[in-house]
Amino acid sequence: MQDRPTTRELVEAAREFFERELLPTITDPRLKFRTLVALNALGIGEREMFAGDTFINEELRGLRALLGVHGPLSELREAKESEAWEHRKTLAERLRNGEIPPGTGAFLKASIGYKLAVSSPRFTARY
Amino acid sequence: MSTDFHSALEGALASLFEGKIALKRANLIPGGASKEAWSVDLETAAGPLALLVRRAGGGVIYSETLSLEHEHAVVKTAHENGVLAPKTYGYLPDVAGRPAFVMERVSGEGIGRKVVSRPDLAAARAALPSQMAHQLARIHAIDPAALPFLPGGGNAPAHERVIERLYREIDAAAEPHPAIEYGLRWMRDNPPSLFGETVIHGDYRIGNLLVGDLGLTAVLDWEFCHVGDPIEDLAWPLVRAWRFGQDKLHLGGIAPSDEYIHVYTRETGRKVDPKTLFFWELAGNVKWAIGCVTQARRHLSGKERSVELASLGRLAAEVEYEIVDLVERAPK
């Protein structure tokens, strides 16, 4: 176990430095744009760390319901990620073969919503 | 700019113009990783010229794009066919070791976010829908025989070739994307009406068009030009990502799409039905979602390290959301 600051707090500290002290000094528009992109990437990382297991749990629940998978959920993040990957793969294959499980559209919107909550939190409000 | 490059460029340019020339200025325009763009001021016997020199970049080469020699031929042919493509001055096989071509430097706003929002471009935005339709009609009227090297064409209809290519590209990313499959599924179940195949621009949208006070001043970025379904071109500027935040304005964040479609239909005789237009708008979104995934792979594989490319991997979710939303609202 590491001492404070946590990973998230460290990334936040770095982002704040870039944002408040470095960014205002950049005059080249292209460099400024790339710096904003990099800052946004750090923000995504922070939100993802903050979210913890919430979204992967939700997605996994949705995938299992859609594909009719039962059984106990692992507690380990890595196991949950790899189970979700397998279910996504199965769903992708079924869709390609012309089999659309009932509820697919609603599930997809919800699961993409979890991704967007991390990568682009204001996006769905634009619909 | 090094003196060596300056004299290499001046020497190469001399071959294109009658009489004595003098290179007054050459600035590299920031941007583009795969190709350079030089803003060049030239003094010629006939007077001063404002030029843009497009030259191969140092490293990355996209296999899916035209060579500079072919891109030059496309821009030249488009210009000669009355399209607002820049006037070209010639292809240069060797400018300090790399190929390039020379065209006039047209003024106008090219940055999408500014085209959709600059207050002084309001009149231009009002003129653009009909201008964009008119230009596209001209592009689609270019005789493919004039550009025999263009990729595309084949036995299967264009939309089937597009679907096949999209599957190939998403499979190459080796990552399951059910939302993309969902969009492709709809496309396979709902083939579009066919309107023949033409020369198509391949990247016709706000951001690749220069816009001045009175509207369109130039159609740029011809490197994806190929033979395909003209409605693919027609629908590409409708894709949400090219509305630059003006989400409610279907045509590139500048206007509703009805006038644009109406003028295109009037000029080409292609009576595009809503479902076919929808097919290609969805196809555009699927293509861009896969583009985001694929470009992030360029970073991840180490081919081209870039925080912008990396971020596209997470931007894909926005496009996936649009795909699912579109399928839910699909015309019957």
| pLDDT on residue B154 | 85
A88 and A105 belong to one structural domain: yes
- Judge: B307–A34 Cβ closer than 8 Å, yes or no: yes
What pLDDT is stored for residue B14 in this prediction?
Answer: 95
Average pLDDT, chain B: 95
Supply the range of the domain harboring residue B58. 3-104
pLDDT at B33: 60
A115 and A58 co-located in one domain:
yes
Q: Give the pLDDT mean for A90-113.
A: 98
Lowest mean pLDDT among A27-31, B236-240, B326-330: A27-31
Q: Which of B288, B242, B255, B218 is nearest to B112 (CA)?
A: B242
Residue A71 belongs to what domain range? 54-126
pLDDT of residue B226: 97
User: What is the number of structural domains in chain B?
Assistant: 2
Looking at chain B, the whole-number percentage of residues with pLDDT higher than 90 is 90
Preceding omega of A5 cis (within 30 degrees of 0): yes
Same domain, B129 and B271: yes
Q: Is residue A1 part of a domain?
A: no
Are A67 and A88 in a shared domain? yes
Per-residue pLDDT reduced to its tens digit, B21-58 = 999 999 998 766 678 999 999 999 999 999 999 999 87
Q: Give the count of beta carbons closer than 10 Å to the beta carbon of residue B184.
A: 23
Report pLDDT digits (tens) over B56-108. 987 655 667 899 999 999 999 999 999 999 999 999 999 999 999 999 999 99
Asked if residue A75 belongs to a domain, the reply is yes
Q: Which band of pLDDT confidence, cut at 50, 70 and 90, is reported for residue B324?
A: very high
Same domain, A23 and A63: no
Instruction: Flag if A38 and B307 touch (Cβ within 8 Å).
Output: yes
Residues of chain A contacting residue B325, judged by C-beta atoms under 8 Å apart: 109, 127
Among candidate residues B79, B104, B129, the one where a domain is terminated: B104
Residues B197, B160 share a domain: yes
Average pLDDT over residues A21-45: 94
- Do A46 and A60 fall into the same domain? no
- Distance in Å, alpha carbon of B248 to nearest chain A alpha carbon: 9
- CA of B36, closest CA in chain A: separation in Å? 14
Instruction: Report pLDDT for B246.
Output: 97
Rounded Cα distance between B311 and B292, Å, is 9
Q: What pLDDT shows up at residue A55?
A: 95
> Is there a single domain that holds both residue B221 and residue B81?
no
A12 shares its domain with A64? no
- Residues with Cβ < 8 Å from B136, sequence gap 6 or more? B201, B204, B230, B233, B234, B264
pLDDT of residue B1: 53
Of B61, B83, B104, which residue constitutes the final position of a domain? B104
Within a domain: residue A2? no
User: What CATH number does the domain containing B7 carry?
Assistant: 3.30.200.20
Domain identity same for B296 and B256? yes
**Would you state the pLDDT for residue B60?**
57
Could you give phi then psi for residue B132, rounded to 5 degrees?
-65, -40
Q: Identify the CATH number of the domain in which residue B287 sits.
A: 3.90.1200.10
Q: Is residue A72 part of a domain?
A: yes
First vs last C-alpha separation in chain B = 58
Among A28, A41, A120, the residue with its CB nearest the CB of B317 is: A120
